[in-house]
């Protein structure tokens, strides 16, 4: 489930894990080994969780290419807004058709 770890772990823990990874990385032969140590030290269920946090932080810092968290949040907000506007538009079209039909009826 995407985003599940963000609900399970507080933001402070994620920030600490990313910071710790940066500190311990030079002591390990691979990124994965460093991530594994950070996960173990902080009681995080899997190094994959730490890897995702580190990659996200790298994208947000501009070190790694990708869509930043801020850009992603803006896209989500805009998609919600577009959906809301489409719903409103369809309601207005239906109302317009209803009133146009009322105007076309002969009066008594």
In this prediction, residue 5 carries a pLDDT of 52
How far is 17 from 55, CA to CA, in rounded Å?
12
pLDDT single digits (tens) 78-92:
999 999 999 999 999
Output the pLDDT for position 1. 47
At 104 the pLDDT is: 78
Nearest CA to 43 out of 19, 13, 3 is that of 13
Rounded Cα gap, residues 46 and 9, in angstroms: 12
Residue ranges of the chain whose pLDDT lies below 70: 1-6, 108
Domain ranges of the chain: 1-66, 69-108
What single-letter DSSP state applies at residue 28? S
pLDDT computed for residue 6 by the predictor: 54
pLDDT score at 103: 81
Cα gap 45→41, rounded to integer Å:
11
Where b means 16+ CB within 10 Å and e means fewer, 7-32 reads eebeeeebebbbebbeeebeeeeeee
Kindly report the pTM of this predicted structure. 0.68
Q: What is the pLDDT of residue 108?
A: 67
Question: Which CATH number is 1-66's, of 3.40.220.10, 3.30.70.660, 1.10.10.10, 3.80.10.10?
Answer: 1.10.10.10
Distance CA 17, CA 3 (A): 17
User: Using CA atoms, how far apart are residues 74 and 33, in angstroms rounded to an integer?
Assistant: 34
């Amino acid at each position: 489930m995407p985003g599940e770890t963000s609900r399970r772990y507080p933001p402070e823990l994620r920030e600490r894990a990313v910071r710790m990874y940066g500190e311990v990385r030079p002591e390990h032969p691979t990124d994965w080994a460093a991530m594994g140590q950070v996960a173990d030290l902080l009681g995080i269920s899997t190094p994959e969780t730490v890897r995702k946090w580190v990659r996200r932080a790298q994208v947000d810092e501009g070190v790694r290419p990708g869509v930043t968290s801020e850009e992603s949040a803006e896209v989500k907000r805009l998609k919600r807004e577009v959906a809301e506007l489409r719903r409103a538009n369809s309601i207005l079209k239906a109302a317009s058709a209803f009133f146009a039909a009322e105007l076309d009826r002969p009066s008594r």
